[in-house]
Structure 1
């Protein structure tokens, strides 16, 4: 009851006018994680309140199952799926010829970081020289960007592959490990570990995270429903950020009971600086940032090429969604 009261109170102050519900459109939101955590709190809040349904959208939110395969390719082959992915992986799919279109990004700045135990005194990319650094398969481009930005010779950094657990870092098998500073870093801090985070966005890494993308077929078939989806997304995120304790409890209780509530709450409190880093409109992206992101991608993938941006980003859905803002 508290959660609904808070949401309604916010909604009475500022809202996007949604049309009355007509025929329901079935859509799937395919996450890029196997868990529904607070990185998707805005979507989960809106779903729990029935706001997607009220807007005429029958939305299924799917965690990423083990062995799912190439997320970009799977979304490209679908006519009803909204994917969520890192911008580098989205560009990889588009460069491979997949008919993908980005319609927005939940995080307007990258949450990527490197986490190291505090005794390493990790403050700048120069401090990585001589360290064993573990990154995920999709993290090499971002690491290369911050090293180049800071004039660090990458050959002086021992770079290896990492899985998504914190174990290798905590067992001192590596000195620094790729993470989200709103997720794994917070998890380690709340668990009592003395760690520091080197945030990529502070050292030249301009990129979007949790990019929302669809196939060209989905965009053509469900454009109106996607506009409504973006409207409801804005409503859900603003409600969740306004009440992080309530939103985190919803996520843990209803969607991810194995997660620690304190960790989820503290993570959510950091997300506003990512959600609206460039634009007060939730989900909005900029051609300038996309150009910078594409340039970094192509610099580290010299064998790849991308078509003109207008073929793989549609800025007009956000424009239409927010053109309907109530007075």
Structure 2
């Protein structure tokens, strides 16, 4: 397993806002980005929405299990698209927000940090749904020297990437600690220093190093940031306010198809993993064991008490507020109104209440 290939949600923030340059493109011409400008209620005619241009935040791994299933089972066709074109992300890819701004994509997944940065440079994007209700950020250690609570970090040596230092410092702050309470050393997204005993822990993602360590015969201990006062969403569905106003039918259809895909993935995680290994990500040569484990870790971030009650991708008002507060701790400042618009999902679940309940 290559660690960087299995960092759902984190990959985009780690590589930064590649090629955004949004400060000089305030207009964006987004009115023409959608396949349909209809705002009428009800399902569109078969194929009436044309092809959906869907930009992923990362490579063709199991991060996108829900969309893979939605494509394979014909859910995009069912909601009115003639077909779907997936556009992979990755270290060298054009950012999702840039693609939405220039019209090469109509729909996609980004992160709150990127959205806030773009909005501060003249854009007007909103989170319209969230895949991960909890951040996958965590401290990974070994059971032989476990770190299971924030207090355990005192006096320890922790490997942290430069990009993740603001998150670690914020996590420490909300738990009454500071960076001087431990020794922070650089992290290259490789757990080898942990295995070698050179560090006591690494800051990574629950969908990443814990899986590779376990599958290589080690016994990892995982301390999730979300379990200790660090509440934030990620892997967020995004649209411009112009799209939300003018292309509601298209956006609602895309959300509906993905909801159906994610419901199916939760019901049978092996199906999404198999599609990542044998079809969409075949050239990346993943193992089924690896992708299944990653998918199960991902589902743990998607399926919560709130989404059990309100539906996949929804974000409660309380979590919206907590996300904004957590972002502020990392130096990223916004407001709930400038970051979220849950009206599309509210309409989807009102029109299709059967999608709300998970099996």
Residue deviations 1:258-299 (CA, integer Å, cap 9, x gap): 112112222323443321322231110123212222122223
SS at match of 2:172: helix
Q: 1:279 aligns with which of 302, 307, 314?
A: 307
Q: 2:218 aligns with which of 193, 214, 223?
A: 193
TM-score (norm 2): 0.76
Judge conservation of contact 1:206–1:292 (CA < 8 Å) in 2. yes
Residue deviations 1:129-152 (CA, integer Å, cap 9, x gap): 233323345433432232123212
The offset of 1:76, in angstroms, is 4.1
CA distance in 2, matches of 1:206, 1:101: 19
Which consecutive unaligned segments of at least 5 residues does structure 1 have?
A: 1-16
Judge conservation of contact 1:95–1:305 (CA < 8 Å) in 2. no
The offset of 1:64, in angstroms, is 1.5
TM-score (norm 1): 0.83
Residue deviations 1:151-172 (CA, integer Å, cap 9, x gap): 1222222334434444454455
The offset of 1:217, in angstroms, is 3.6
Match of 1:244 in 2: 269
Judge conservation of contact 1:78–1:215 (CA < 8 Å) in 2. no
Residue deviations 1:44-95 (CA, integer Å, cap 9, x gap): 1111222113322333222214333655455444474333233333333334
Judge conservation of contact 1:108–1:275 (CA < 8 Å) in 2. yes
- 1:231–1:157: structure 2 CA closer, same or farther, 3 Å change rule? same
The offset of 1:201, in angstroms, is 0.7
Pair 1:48 & 2:76 matched? no
Match of 2:290 in 1: 263
Match of 1:90 in 2: 115
Match of 2:341 in 1: 314
RMSD: 2.6
SS at match of 1:279: helix
Residues matched between the structures, number: 307
CA distance in 2, matches of 1:311, 1:120: 43
CA distance in 1, matches of 2:162, 2:323: 17
Match of 1:13 in 2: none
Asked which structure has the greater RCO (Cα within 8 Å, sep 6+), the reply is 1
CA distance in 2, matches of 1:165, 1:91: 29
Pair 1:209 & 2:243 matched? no
